[in-house]
Amino acid sequence: MDLSTRYLGLDLRNPIVASASPLCESIPNLRALEDQGIAAVVLPSLFEEQLTLEGNSLDSDLSRGTDSFGEALSYFPDLGGYNLGPQGYLELIHRAKAAVSVPVIASLNGTSRAGWTRFAREVQQAGADALELNLYSIVTDAQRTAADVESGYCDLVREIKQSLLIPVAVKLSPFLTAPANFAKQMDAAGADALVLFNRFYQPDFDIEELEVVPRLTLSNSQELLLRLHWVAILSGQVRADLAVTGGVQTAEDVIKCMMAGSRVAMMTSALLRHGVAHVSTVLKALDCWLDEHEYESLGQMYGSMSRRSCGNPSAFDRGNYMKVLSSYVLREDIRR
């Protein structure tokens, strides 16, 4: 069965990509992923704060106001030892490229232009096949408008694209007023791919200690629905490749991604939950499903369930909202 696809100008043997996580920070893990059939890997993100720290400017930024609130610094991890740091990250790219034959995609996480363009060039020089920009930002300033935030994102992508030869993917947040319009802006800024969506990691409250604490839960297939919805809407509307990340667990999930119009299905939580051998399990199940349904290649199903291919486009619009609500039938014991 032909499972090949093309993403970011890279020919991939199948659509399953290991997305950014600590799993991809280990060379033995990268080799194991390749042995199990992974098509490409995204290295763990290097954070903007780490680049800023390297420039010796973060300390003064973080310490501002700590006289009035002595715990302010405690909300940030020890960035000096977090991940690998900028130079360690470049070394990881070198080592990964020497260790595996599948494409190696670097990942940068942040929202401003300070230091990014320079480091993006260093990532390219280190041998990365592509770069993924994770635009993860929580805008708490009530004076900043959505237009201002989006304009800053576009300027960042445009500047980085102009400085690189390798392709650039942009990982987006789902919390946008007009995602389709913003996707078009990213397309115009030169993004080679759009990755939908980064996960919003929400803090929890410790009501005994009165502290805000981090909490991370692995994704499940239910989270895939939002991604499928917007990939299906954007398919055919943008030049950039589309990728799904978040909620990809099974072969059926991968099939849905392809039918929506995604070029690849990125996987992290399923690998952390089941181990790297899960890649092989999903690929075998994918091959069987295609054979049973008389497909000759994965490409045959690409975009077949997208909005532009759907006989009833309202299924992706407000009409679906009303239909979903009316589809639920109360049980008799609840009515009593």
pLDDT given for residue 322 in this prediction? 67
pLDDT given for residue 71 in this prediction? 42
Q: Residues 98-109: pLDDT tens digits? A: 999 999 999 998
Domain boundaries, given as residue ranges, for the chain: 5-45+83-307
* Strand-strand pairing, 168-172 and 40-42: unpaired
Cα 254 to Cα 84: distance, rounded to the nearest angstrom: 31
pLDDT given for residue 97 in this prediction? 98
- Tokens 């993403």 belong to which residue? 7
Q: For the whole model, what pTM was predicted?
A: 0.87
pLDDT given for residue 175 in this prediction? 87
Within a 10 A sphere around the Cβ of 67, how many other Cβ atoms?
A: 8
Token pair listed for 89: 């990250």
Instruction: Decide: 195 and 184 in contact? Cβ < 8 Å.
Output: no
Name the region of 115 (left: φ>0; alpha: ψ -120 to 50; beta: rest). Answer: left
Token pair listed for 278: 């899960």
pLDDT given for residue 72 in this prediction? 40
Cα 97 to Cα 116: distance, rounded to the nearest angstrom: 22
> CA angle, corner 108, sides to 103 and 110, nearest 5?
155
- Tokens 């708490």 belong to which residue? 140
Which class in CATH covers the domain with range 5-45+83-307?
alpha beta
Within a 10 A sphere around the Cβ of 325, how many other Cβ atoms?
A: 8
Cis peptide bond N-terminal to 197, omega within 30:
yes
- β partners of residue 134: 109, 171
pLDDT given for residue 84 in this prediction? 67
Scanning the chain, the segments in alpha helix (DSSP H) are 27-36, 48-54, 58-63, 85-99, 116-126, 146-163, 179-189, 224-234, 251-260, 269-274, 278-292, 318-327, 332-335
Instruction: Decide: 49 and 76 in contact? Cβ < 8 Å.
Output: yes
pLDDT given for residue 330 in this prediction? 61
List of the chain residues with pLDDT < 70: 54-84, 111, 114, 318-325, 328-336
pLDDT given for residue 254 in this prediction? 98
- Tokens 């929506």 belong to which residue? 260
